[in-house]
A and B are shown apart, each in its own frame.
Chain A
């Protein structure tokens, strides 16, 4: 049976937006499972710290900095990762932003949004996934193996009052991105999936109004916020030999919220 190796040991994983939050948890979890992890973050200090802590814990890791919306910067980062760690076998498109504005700093209304903000969010959340996939796929296709997982969101599937239209549209875009790419690269033994977190307790979530967060918790059958580790467990599965025949899917990690 073809498919992903049974273990993560020795596989090189590039996780974008892994300086903190969900991305950090995913990268750490892959590393704990034996993967060699490249922590990529826009903030070089966060990337360096995350990698340093992994190395101190006895794992092989590298911190790299790039804006995922910048194709040349990503190309440089991928080159650096592959030269240092080896060919990238796992890509997690996790980098994302969700800007807020308004008097309380917690709103993102379409009629108040300027086009620069829209384009910036599309650039990071959606175009960034294209740029990173575009950079690693030639190697994956040549080696006939690889796993790509993108962090979508329940906000890409239904109305969510704490995000802006740019965030919702890009997270929905990642679901279509996942479906198309899965069909395209399936014949090369590469799987492409997404996770759709619900309300996860992260710095990004804490940037939104607490009443809205509380309402979301009450709408979640599990009656709690998710943790970054909850999301990491599903990404670990999707990049493992256990999921060699799972592709094109978006797995909700939302405690039963929405239920698609």
Chain B
């Protein structure tokens, strides 16, 4: 399926969490639209293998290992990206961690890890990228439906994602009009994370979704491609839900 409606030729994407199912779809979408792609994830071998599959010539991809909770390493990635491809046109923070724990049973370390990976990393990544961002560039942070509504057994994740939403709005005001900043909030998107949830809850969530299906990672990537494009030239400080109507509120 090709939807290369947005032209990102000679643009550069920097992406965290590139090896996740949504991250892969984002990378594919931008690569197909002509962008140079700086792909980062925890494990060098995995991200290198993914980059090779995307561009065997290696001309438009750069694969870097990155622990997004380490600010010095995040800074180094932005420098490396700039050295290779120049200014950044699109920054997408897709790294995240989703695990289960009820608040009553949650150890400090689990809370802190969720906040570090889902929230601190967004701060480190955006801060590090700002000096390298091009004029008329865009940042999209991946939040979650859980960040708006809360989520049973995911208070740590939901709290971090809610903070990503207000962080993004604040950053949008700081960086306007040079850089637009938006968030996307996926609902139930097909992938390992959701399959685990469905195995526990059966058809409940799909029954609750007006469109009666899961979303596909490509549909999240499409929203991000739009938000980074000139078609979204006056869209900043917003959050966009991609959830088939599962949550129709804000």
Contacts and interface: CB of A to CB of B under 8 A. Distances in A.
A242 B223 contact: yes
Nearest to A252: B238
A229 B230 CA distance: 10
Contacts, number: 135
Given A183-B210, A247-B245, A240 B176 contact: no
B223 A249 contact: no
A69 B231 CA distance: 31
Contact of A6 (B2, B229, B232, B245): B2
B250 A260 contact: yes
Interface stretch (A70-78, A95-103, A113-121, A231-239): A231-239
Contacts of B5: 6-7, 240, 242
Contact of A245 (B1, B215, B233, B235): B215
Interface string B156-183: 0000000000000100110011000000
Contacts of B215: 245
Contact of A246 (B2, B218, B232, B242): B242
B173 A249 contact: no
Contact of B177 (A222, A231, A240): A222
B222 A222 contact: no
A187 B210 contact: yes
Given A1-B216, A224-B177, A260-B250, A245 B237 contact: no
B57 to A, nearest CB: 27
A244 interface: yes
B248 interface: yes
Contacts of B147: none
Given A221-B236, A245-B219, A251-B240, A186 B1 contact: no
A224 B46 CA distance: 44
B210 A249 contact: no
B180 to A, nearest CB: 8
B209 interface: yes
Contact of B231 (A6, A179, A237): A237
B23 interface: no
B245 A182 contact: yes
Contacts of B248: 179, 182-183, 247-249
Interface centre among A224, A246, A253, A254 (most CB of B within 10 A): A246
B210 A248 contact: yes
Interface string B200-231: 00000000011111011011001101100111
B243 interface: yes
B241 interface: yes
Nearest to A189: B211
A246 to B, nearest CB: 6
B236 A222 contact: yes
A6 B176 contact: no
B95 to A, nearest CB: 22
5 contacts: A221-B236, A245-B187, A252-B237, A252-B238, A256-B236
For the complex of A and B, list the 5 residue pairs with the smallest distance between their C-beta atoms, beginning with the closest: A186-B210, A233-B231, A248-B248, A230-B234, A221-B176
Given A245-B216, A246-B240, 7 more contacts: A2-B213, A7-B5, A186-B210, A245-B219, A246-B223, A252-B238, A255-B177
Interface of B: 1-3, 5, 169, 172-173, 176-177, 187, 209-213, 215-216, 218-219, 222-223, 225-226, 229-238, 240-245, 248-250
Interface of A: 1-3, 6-7, 179, 182-187, 189, 191, 198, 221-224, 226-227, 229-231, 233-234, 236-237, 240-249, 251-256, 259-260
